[in-house]
Chain A
Amino acid sequence: MIRFISLFLTLLASLAFAADRSAEIREEMWNSSDKTFALTDVPPQWAGKSAVYLAKLNRFEFRKAVMASYVRRNQYNHYRIKLLDQNAITRYAEMTYDESIGNTYQVYVGFKIIKSNGKEQIIDISRAVKMQRESRGRKYGYFKLAIPGLEPGDILDYYICEEESILTTAKLYFFDPVIHCLTREYPVANYKLQFRASRKCYINLKSLNGAPALKVVSDEKDDEEFYSFEGTDLDGSDDQRWVFPYRDLPTIKFRAAYAYSGGLADYFGVLLGEPRVAKTKVLPSELAELTEKMMRSTLSIFTLPKEIKDTKVISNPFQAAEKIYYSNRHDELINYAERNEFMEYNPPRVSEIEFIKAMNTELKAKKIPHDIVIGMRRHISTIDDVIMENELDWLIRIKKGKEFLYLTAFEKHTPAGFLHPLLQGTEAYVVDGLVPPAQWAPKKVTLPTAAAQDNLIETYTTATLSADLDAVKLVVKKAISGAGKEGYQEEVLDYYDYEPEEFKRYPRDKTSLKVSKLDKNATARKNAYMSKRTEKKMESWKPWVESEFTFKVKDIELPKVENTGRFDLTTPFSFQYTCATEEIVQRAGTNHIVDVGKLLEEQTKIKPEELNRATNIYLEYPRKIVAHLTVVAPAGYTWEGTEQLLKTVVNKYGEFSAAARVEGNTLIIETTKQYSAVFVPKADWPKVVEFLNAALEYSDQKALLVKSK
């Protein structure tokens, strides 16, 4: 009985606390002194918009919880949005928010409508309905709330706040980083992005792309620091193609870490700086220190191939490094691929740090000159703006005089020499892999850039028209090199397409599905796959081929792989397939028209509304797409109109060019489409549109087939 009373009192206390806290948050959100949350009028420049945020607050809090093993992460989101049309009404008429979970995750919400006459109506959240899912005794839920009485011109003022206690045994706890792009779909008249952290927290913080400058306020009473970004008049932005938002739109990066003591932070910490001082800049030496710490805490070993092991002096470091690379790609990934698949384990993988640690060890053992490269992908920031370790990439580069061979943590098809396109052309730091970490002196370098020609997709299509011109057989061969290669390899190849070449090159025992009690199920799974392999491959292949053309195709056959391109950066991945269509030849009076332009790959269509561009243009990599099209007419026909199949549009950002000729009854067309740049200032967007339009218009080109007299 005593126990029951005690439990009851605890429950009562916790309910009372929740009610108090709910009232506190409501008071803070709706009765704050922040005047922007009392605004009612839309700034005149946004009068014709669907909705406008009059005020917006996002606050993140990070601190140690009262209970010993918990840290707290709180997030307070408060929005005051004026809904100006039916579209906005429909969107905001139904709101959702998460359900609280026990005492560790509390959600507090409030919704009120301010009518155009100023009358306020607070929505009764007890009318929200709970949607729930239950599995293995665990319940997951969220609430749906219908917002009553909304009309265009109403203001919806609402907050959704989360307070979370996170159990941790770590002495240094890293909260999830926040990368917050300030631009939203709707314009924002006033906004505040705030971070509040206990003074024992280490803060990393950066304001980018015109985001407002940081204001820091010390809260002596609560022993906390308060970091705030405040701004006004932020235009809305719809989704646009080819934009890196973190590079082009106002963005804030933030990460907090809580340390039980400064000593711990010194020992375990990376890129932490000093408590209470927002760290906005990371020094090259800190990147080196971080790399050393991460490598030191990683246990990973590669195996030297015997021929390298037995070679006392390495004369060709590139060749030796490639051998180490491919041999270990086999041992670490390919060797386990089949077993992991059918034993239903996660696919084998090697992290970047594991890779550089193991590779560095072997390269040092053979005294092969190399650097460890610390880089940052272009779509996040420049390396000068790094503030968190999760923004970084690590790789190795082998040195031979002034030449370099880049080695990236491999996936199953990654070739030696591959440098991720988002790292290309960026600045990075390198440290000498042969010297002890204590002597590392980071040096800034610019990583090389591939040309469009290096990222080449070549397609050879032979279209043979039937004698009655009703049907066309297509034989398509593709050869892909560079950045696009891996995507095609993933699409086309399954494990058994490259297993033979792997085990021919590395004739060692596979970590296989041993026939034991444990492995019988895996063997059954393998047998199931092998018995249906053709059908399974066709399940994904057929839609892929169908998506290649804008007309209906049939009789699709699986591709025949000519070269997997897996052991060399420059060797293309090539394959050939066949299919047929009845859609590209049309009768036109006594003649026939052939939609030759449609036999090229589907072209990018820039919609009229995309012509006005508000952001700069970012492409992942330069690339060249070359099509060699041969259209064979039946005997007795001649081609006309081929003079229209010539086209050239070239500018500094790209090109589309086409040439055509007739040889007997065969029409031969060669086209080149090229994206030459990875960045285009928005003012030059018309130049990109120019060559894209040329390619699109070409896809409507036709040739006339005339019966010979």
Chain B
Amino acid sequence: MIKPWFALIGIIGIASFGYGQKNVNTQLAGELKGYPENKKAKLVAKQHKSSYTFQLTENTLTVINTNTLDLIALEGNLDHREYVAYNNNVAVLDASVRYTTGKNIFSAKVCGNYEVDDIFYSDAKICSYPMNFLSEGTEITFQSKLQYNDPKYLTRIFFHDSKPTEFREVSVIVPDGVEVELVEKNFDGLTIEKSKLNQAGNTVHTYRVKRLPEKKNEENSLGSLYHFPHLVVLTKSFKTKAGVSKVLASVGDLYNWYASLTKQINNDPSALKAEVERLTKSCKTPEEKIKAIYYWIQDNIKYIAFEEGIAGFRPEAAQQVYQNRFGDCKGMANLTKEMLKLAELDARLTWIGTRQIPYTYDIPSLSVDNHMVCTVFLNNQYFVLDATEKFMPFGSSNAERIQGKQILVENGNDFILKTLPEESATSNQVTRTENLTFQEGALIGQGELSMKGEAKKSFLYANAAVKTEDLKRLFHELALPNRLNTDKIEITNKPITHRDSALLVQYAYTVNNKASKFKDDWYLNLDWIKQMFDLSLEEDRVTDYYFYRKLKSVTRKKIQVPEGYQVTHIPTNMTRSHPDFSFEVKFKMQGNELVYENIITIPQGLIKKSSFKDWNASIKELKAVYNDPIILSKKP
């Protein structure tokens, strides 16, 4: 009854048909399937060659990047897309899809803005090129050609791809007169063959590597810059008839370029004056002024990121951010600086790479930083003010994501480099203390929860983001997570949710499903939050496991043994100490009370890949302790 329209489909079918088995290399596909690194792969890059050719014209330097990717399918009927990213500084000159044997394939590319959750608008764009590998062993070649209009925007070259790569070659061709340094990162443990040849007035740097596994995007990872080999490209200068032009040869050059952009900001302090006066009129000390301004910006300026061309590097004028009540990190840092200056404080713009960038300013590259803050100098001390952090108190530690990072602070024609201190895990400590009684199946508790540092900050974000009518529920969830509708919970204090105050939540509860009775014995689980209970790490994970903050969790519970009962079993204590983590779980009787203490510390907030085995063994042990109940038996 339902007949397809054969005529049209016939035409399309015949048009797309043709190269049949000519494009198929089943033998190679079979071989590649046998390699362990290709075990889960559906597609392999047989060969991936990239070249970056610096082109010197009369007085400009550009870079042409060509990529040739020979792909082979390890299963048939595989739909795949290749992507090419571009922006205002990088143009796509050409891209093509063809069978490796030569015949072109029509690929209905789709191009458009590349949208990232945290960024309202950027000039980042992407083209995707679809292709279908009809049979196992089908070979398709994807080629692309891009142009960097300004060499400082060519910052990094990676070797890995989203699929395993049998052979990877990267060549960087630098004409005489152009000074380029290639900084090798994460090359340890890999056999990367390198060569440097002089050919017809060019220096050709070539890197070749075989059998690269796929580059995985793993959750809770510090990011690819920490793990995957790459080259940081430092284009330092180039020589033309007009003389030597500097690009970025040193941190000084980088600072000068940044400074040249900040000079272009047309700040109008008069537009901020009344607000600064209003905010600081009752302040008696410089610290109070800083707080008044810093907190007002945190509270009133929404982070909305625009990254378009040069605007991705140049802060928006302070008065514009002030009027808009929104801005990106640069705009907020600049507004902070301008308002503090009006309050007669020494405030300066400051560049910084957050934790996801493992470089220091030894590397003069646009890839060294990704964030801007404001530094205020006071009484021979300096304080970093990051107004994008909504609940960061003044004068204490910095946000975890910038701790230990180097800052580049403006200093007129010069600059200052400093390194921010690292805090300990205790600065983020979460402490839960509870006193419990047990009444025939029900656990009745009174407790308090205190949170510091990043832990408190995360909660304050949630507190500010939640709807007014859901606020009570948020505190209930904090006090007694994942509760049943038959459990009872009440918050007994009025928690202060200010960045400068400690967060302390006091509560009382009754829960009913934490005890089981067998004959005359009660089996109780005292800790139902079970920190880290399910966090065994996959051994085939490539990257270290990152918690996004240093962790310290302390839980102390006391339970009164009910009258007529005695404790006949308590779980075995557990203590594990490792450079990456420590677990300390203890049970002990104190008179008629059983005391439970659980202290977990992840001092760097990071479990290294090399520690996974020890971590998993400890988690297994921890899990056994959590699952082992306390047994209350009737006294004889």
Interface residues of A (CB under 8 A from B): 48-50, 84-90, 93-94, 129, 131-136, 144, 146, 148-151, 300-302, 332, 336, 340, 343, 345, 348-350, 354, 358, 517-518, 520-521, 524-525, 527-529, 531-532, 586-590, 593, 605-611, 640-641, 644, 689, 693, 696-697, 700-702, 704
Contacting residues, chain B, for A529 (C-beta < 8 A) = 76-77
Q: Are A87 and B468 in contact (CB under 8 A)?
A: yes
Is the contact region of chain B dominated by helix, strand, or loop, or is it mixed?
Answer: mixed
Interface presence of B617 (CB below 8 A): no
B569 touches A588 (CB 8 A): yes
**Interchain CB contact under 8 A, B10 and A518:** yes
Given known contacts A90-B302, A518-B14, A525 and B113 CB-to-CB distance under 8 angstroms: no
Separation of A518 and B300 alpha carbons in the complex (Å): 64
Cβ contact within 8 Å between A525 and B134? yes
Residue in contact with A50 in the complex, picked from B115, B135, B467, CB distance below 8 Å: B467
Give 28 A-B contacts (CB < 8 Å), ordered by A residue: A85-B467, A87-B466, A90-B465, A129-B120, A129-B306, A131-B113, A131-B115, A133-B112, A134-B110, A149-B323, A336-B2, A518-B13, A520-B20, A521-B17, A521-B134, A525-B134, A528-B134, A531-B136, A589-B569, A593-B523, A608-B476, A641-B517, A641-B518, A644-B516, A693-B484, A697-B484, A702-B516, A704-B518
Q: Which 10 A-B pairs have the closest CB atoms?
A: A528-B76, A133-B112, A148-B324, A589-B569, A586-B627, A50-B467, A528-B77, A641-B518, A149-B325, A129-B121
**B465 near A87: Cβ-Cβ < 8 Å:** yes
Q: Once the chains are docked, how many angstroms separate the CA of A151 from the CA of B627?
A: 49
* Residues B217-275 near A (CB distance < 8 A): none
Q: If the complex has contacts A151-B300, A588-B523, are A358 and B468 also in contact, measured as CB distance less than 8 A? A: no
Q: When the two chains form their complex, are residues A520 and B513 in contact, meaning their CB atoms are under 8 A apart? A: no
Most buried by B among A150, A528, A611: A528
Evaluate contact between B513 and A644: CB separation under 8 angstroms: no
When the two chains form their complex, are residues B468 and A48 in contact, meaning their CB atoms are under 8 A apart?
Answer: yes
Question: In the complex, which range does the number of interface residues on chain B fall in?
Answer: 35 or more
Q: Give the shortest distance, in Å, between B479 (CB) and chain A (any CB).
A: 12
> A84-B468, A129-B306 are known contacts; what are 7 more A-B pairs with Cβ within 8 Å?
A93-B302, A148-B324, A343-B4, A517-B17, A590-B569, A608-B473, A644-B516
Q: Is the CB of B17 within 8 A of A518?
A: yes
| Cβ contacts under 8 Å, A611 to chain B | 485
| Given A136-B108, A148-B323, A608-B485; A49-B13 close (CB under 8 Å) | no
Closest Cβ–Cβ distance, residue B528 to chain A (whole Å): 11
Chain B proximity of A628: nearest CB distance (Å): 23
Complex interface: chain B residues within 8 A of A135 (CB):
108-111
- Asked if B16 is an interface residue, CB under 8 A from chain A, the answer is yes
Residue of A at shortest CB range from B18?
Answer: A517
The one of B76, B323, B464, B627 in contact with A525, judged by C-beta atoms closer than 8 angstroms, is: B76
CA distance A290 to B67 in the complex (A): 61
**Chain B nearest Cβ from A115, distance in angstroms:** 12
Q: Distance in Å from the Cβ of B405 to the closest Cβ of chain A?
A: 28
For chain B residues 485-538, which have a beta carbon within 8 Å of chain A?
Answer: 485-487, 513, 516-519, 523
Interface: B200 (CB within 8 A)? no
A517 to B9, CA, bound (A): 12
Whether B584 is near chain A, meaning CB under 8 Å from some CB there, is no
Are B76 and A332 interface neighbours, CB within 8 A?
no
Given A148-B326, A588-B628, A589-B631, is A524 in contact with B469 using a C-beta cutoff of 8 Å? no
> If the complex has contacts A149-B323, A588-B628, are A528 and B516 also in contact, measured as CB distance less than 8 A?
no
Q: How far is it, in angstroms, between the C-alpha of A86 and the C-alpha of B474 when the chains are bound?
A: 15
A144 near B516: Cβ-Cβ < 8 Å: no
Known contacts A129-B120, A588-B523, A589-B569: does B485 contact A689 (CB below 8 Å)?
A: yes
A50 to B487 alpha-carbon distance, docked (Å): 27
Contact indicator A640/B300 (Cβ below 8 Å):
no
Query: A593 near B468 (CB under 8 angstroms)?
Result: no
Is B304 engaged at the interface, CB distance under 8 Å to the other chain?
Answer: yes
Judge whether B483 is part of the interface by a CB distance below 8 angstroms: yes
Residue numbers in B under 8 Å from A644 (CB-CB): 516-517
Chain B residues whose CB sits within 8 angstroms of the CB of A144 once the complex forms: 120-121
The answer to whether A524 touches B76 (Cβ under 8 A) is yes
Q: B568 interface residue, CB < 8 Å from A?
A: yes
Q: Judge whether B1 is part of the interface by a CB distance below 8 angstroms.
A: yes
Q: Using Cβ atoms and an 8 Å threshold, which residues of chain B touch A640?
A: 518-519
A136 to B175, CA, bound (A): 39
B75 within 8 A of A: yes
Instruction: Tell me whether B629 is interfacial, beta carbon within 8 Å.
Output: yes
Q: How far apart sit A524 and B121, CA to CA, in the bound complex (Å)?
A: 43
Answer whether residue B417 sits at the interface, using C-beta atoms and an 8 A cutoff: no
What residues of chain A lie closer than 8 Å to B466, measured between beta carbons?
A: 87
Q: Is the CB of B113 within 8 A of A517?
A: no
Distance between B225 CB and nearest chain A CB, rounded to angstroms: 28
Query: Which residue, of B20, B302, B323, has the highest number of chain A Cβ atoms within 10 A?
Result: B302
Most buried by A among B2, B9, B120, B523: B2
B325–A531 CB distance below 8 A: no
- Among candidates A349, A609, A697, residue contacting B513 with C-beta atoms closer than 8 Å: A697
Report B574 CB to chain A, min CB distance, Å.
Answer: 14
Residue B283 CB within 8 A of the other chain: no
A593 vs B468: C-alpha distance in the bound complex, in angstroms? 43
| A610-B485 contact, Cβ under 8 Å, with A345-B4, A528-B75, A589-B631 | yes
Q: Tell me the bound Cα distance from A301 to B3 in angstroms.
A: 12
A300 touches B75 (CB 8 A): no
Cα distance A300–B306 in the bound complex, in angstroms: 57
Q: Is the CB of A641 within 8 A of B76?
A: no
Q: A131-B113, A148-B323, A525-B134 are in contact. Are A332 and B513 (CB under 8 A)?
A: no
B589 lies within 8 A of chain A by Cβ = no
